[in-house]
Amino acid sequence: DAGVIQSPRHEVTEMGQEVTLRCKPISGHNSLFWYRQTMMRGLELLIYFNNNVPIDDSGMPEDRFSAKMPNASFSTLKIQPSEPRDSAVYFCASTSRAGGPGETQYFGPGTRLLVL
Amino acid sequence: AQTVTQSQPEMSVQEAETVTLSCTYDTSENNYYLFWYKQPPSRQMILVIRQEAYKQQNATENRFSVNFQKAAKSFSLKISDSQLGDTAMYFCAFFRIQGAQKLVFGQGTRLTINP
């Protein structure tokens, strides 16, 4: 299995630009999570989907952030407009809930975002 | 809200030694899951070990084992015969089964294995 795939791996952009991060979960997994990692706040959950439906987006910092999951094999996290404080590593993770809650989440390699 | 505390920001040991990383958590739940993840310099988050709260037996994965003390809400990770490749950030994480199902992470412990 290829694991969770994220693109791009690195992104450098200027303040005010739109940024789109992409994630392909592990085939057969039906839950997908977006996390953000910063030195100040550590790892924090932004949003998660079950069967392509957003379940909890309480971690999304503000309206500039949006996430979609149009099908079981693809999700995007968009920041528009981007700000320097959005600079972080963004992780996508997926899990199969077939075995019940608490199934292990498998993480992608992350996207390192730098907003200048 | 659940909280996870890792009281050791940094640790350093010699290769082949045994090291124990501490983790405590706060919850009123009875059923939950606990995890240890490793994040090497590549930044990839890698699962090390997992423990179900309803299981009394401590989880073990090769050189990695946990000491799960449910009453004390403690979940430490022991690494035996440490290797240079164990150098990484280690995160303890709590997963609540009821309600909002999400991982809550501790702040991490930076572990360095010296040759």
Distance in Å, alpha carbon of B65 to nearest chain A alpha carbon: 17
- Using a CB–CB cutoff of 8 Å, tell me whether A43 touches chain B: yes
Task: Please name the member of B50, B52, B108 whose beta carbon is closest to the beta carbon of A42.
Answer: B108
Q: DSSP label at A107?
A: E
Is-contact A67 A34, C-beta < 8 A? yes
pLDDT in tens, A18-33: 999 999 999 989 899 9
In angstroms, how far is CA B16 from the centroid of its own chain? 19
Task: Provide, as residue numbers in chain B, all residues whose Cβ is less than 8 Å from the Cβ of A48.
Answer: 101-102
**Distant-in-sequence, close-in-space partners of B108: CB < 8 Å, separation ≥ 6:** A42, B6, B9, B39, B89, B90, B91
In angstroms, how far is CA B52 from the centroid of its own chain? 13
Task: Please name the member of A43, A102, A109 whose beta carbon is closest to the beta carbon of B105.
Answer: A43
Q: Is the pLDDT of residue A96 over 90?
A: no
Chain A, window 82-111: residues with a beta carbon less than 8 angstroms from a chain B beta carbon? 89, 91, 93, 101-102, 104-107, 109-110
- Using a CB–CB cutoff of 8 Å, tell me whether B33 touches chain A: yes
Distance in Å, alpha carbon of A65 to nearest chain B alpha carbon: 19
Do residue B46 and residue A107 have CB atoms under 8 angstroms apart?
yes
Distance in Å, alpha carbon of B89 to nearest chain A alpha carbon: 12
Interface test with A, best of B32, B45, B105 (most A CBs within 10 A): B45
Task: Please name the member of B103, B107, B108 whose beta carbon is closest to the beta carbon of A105.
Answer: B103
Q: How far apart, in whole angstroms, are the C-alpha atoms of residue A25 and residue A107?
A: 9
Q: Which helix (H) or strand (E) holds B52?
A: strand B46-52
Positions of chain B with pLDDT lower than 50, given as ranges: none
Question: Considering chain B, what percentage of its residues have pLDDT values greater than 70?
Answer: 97
Q: How far apart, in whole angstroms, are the C-alpha atoms of residue A24 and residue A36?
A: 17
Query: What's the rounded mean pLDDT across residues A88-113?
Result: 84
> What is the per-residue pLDDT for A99?
47
Buried b (16+ CB within 10 A) or exposed e, A86-112: bbbbbbbbbbbeeeeebbebbbbbbbb
Q: How far apart, in whole angstroms, are the C-alpha atoms of residue A88 and residue A68?
A: 20
> What is the per-residue pLDDT for B97?
76
Do residue B103 and residue A110 have CB atoms under 8 angstroms apart?
no
Q: DSSP label at B6?
A: -
Q: Is the pLDDT of residue A100 over 60?
A: no
